[in-house]
Amino acid sequence: MKSATSKIVTALDVSVVVFATAAGAASGIFGLNKTRELNTRFRKVDEIIDGFKNHKQEYLKAIILLSLPMLFITILLALDIGTWLRMAESMKISPDDDTDANIRWYLPFYGLYLVLTVLHISFANTILGLRTRFKGLNLLLQTSFLPRNQRRDSQVMVKGVPVREVKSTTTNILATSLASECYKMNGKTRALLLKLMAECHESLGKCVRLSASYYGLTILFVLVSCFLHLLATAYFLLIELFTKNDDGFVWLQILWIVFHASRLWAVVEPCHRLKMESSKTIHIICEIERSIHDSILAEEVKKFWQQLLVFEPRFSACGMCMVDRNILAAMFSGIATYLVILIQFQKTNG
């Protein structure tokens, strides 16, 4: 790290981790009431759509979402520390030189990576939980109000359940049967049911806004950290390839690039899936509107449709950017541009 460019890149590399972790801690402290309200709304929604959720599958997904990232970052940190200790050992001029001291000072910084990974897991779990509830609501709407020949999406969902999970999805099947019976009810009863689902959808919309308010600042710093880390890691990888070409260090940088790209994916992909699932509701309501002939139910469908027109399912990071797949193109093009600039500065500084 002899050049000024390398020092600046390293300083930014460290700073964004500290700021992102601090933002996450601040969100946890000052957003406690929002978390309680979010959990309360989740419980109320689950009381309505509980039969359309596969609890065993959701539990398994949560375990995988927690274990894999933590295992990966733990192994990566161990490899990183081992690589730097090896490089520090090679820099010793005399046996009395304590070149390992710098590595020990970095240990608290490595601990922040564990905290940052937990923040990613918490955010992804919350947004995917929202997406699951929107999916359950959509399935409930289709099963309750659409004729069988129009339930294309619901048929795909039901067929997607493996045979070995029949016992674990008994509640799901019973709830689906009850929802099918709702299709035979009179218009007033079905209108009350649709009104309940509209209230459920409104509550989920407020959950999206609560999540954006709670995680907004944290996700903004996380996106910045992903951008700078991908830029910095790619920069150091190219510098290593152009100079010493230490194979161990090169592979370590490649693993860090994979990790930071995975961090970015863990933020963007849940938001994209939430957006796609929540946008299906208005299409289902339009199909329901075309298939009903009861005036009372038609009025409730119209109210639900008007509610959907003002609903914004997209997740915003403090209102500065919308978090979906569109942001990936902007970030990777920016990384490529600034990487070329950094390489030019490196050549200028020697």
CA distance 295 to 286: 15
pLDDT by residue (tens digit) across 279-309? Answer: 899 899 888 888 887 788 888 888 888 888 8
C-alpha to C-alpha distances, 48 to 80, 171, 202, 340, nearest whole angstrom:
48, 13, 13, 54
Helix (H, G, I), strand (E, B) or coil at 106: coil
As a 3-state breakdown, the chain gives helix, strand, coil percent values, each rounded to 5, of 85, 0, 15
pLDDT by residue (tens digit) across 304-335? Answer: 888 888 887 778 888 888 898 889 989 999 99
| Both tokens assigned to 268 | 């963007």
Helix (H, G, I), strand (E, B) or coil at 162: coil
- pLDDT at residue 181 greater than cutoff 60: no
Helix (H, G, I), strand (E, B) or coil at 316: strand
pLDDT by residue (tens digit) across 93-126? Answer: 666 666 666 677 778 888 899 999 999 999 999 9
pLDDT computed for residue 77 by the predictor? 92
pLDDT computed for residue 116 by the predictor? 92
DSSP state of 324: S
Amino acid at 262: S
C-alpha to C-alpha distances, 80 to 40, 107, 120, 256, nearest whole angstrom:
42, 11, 21, 9
Query: φ, ψ for residue 316 (rounded to 5)?
Result: -115, 135
- Is residue 142 within 8 A of residue 33, CB to CB? The reply is no
Burial label, 345 (beta-carbon count in 10 A; 0-12, 13-18, 19+): middle
Q: What is the CA radius of gyration of the chain?
A: 25
The residue with greater pLDDT, 100 or 57, is 57
Confidence band of 68 (pLDDT split at 50, 70, 90): very high
Confidence band of 163 (pLDDT split at 50, 70, 90): very low
pLDDT computed for residue 131 by the predictor? 92
Q: Which residues of 267-286 are buried (b: 16+ CB within 10 A; e: fewer)?
A: bbbbbbbbbebbebbbebbe
CA distance 52 to 93: 67
Mean pLDDT, rounded, for 189-215: 89
| Both tokens assigned to 60 | 């398994």
CA distance 74 to 115: 12
Provide the Cα torsion 69, 232, 78, 72; round to 10°.
10
Mean pLDDT, rounded, for 176-202: 71
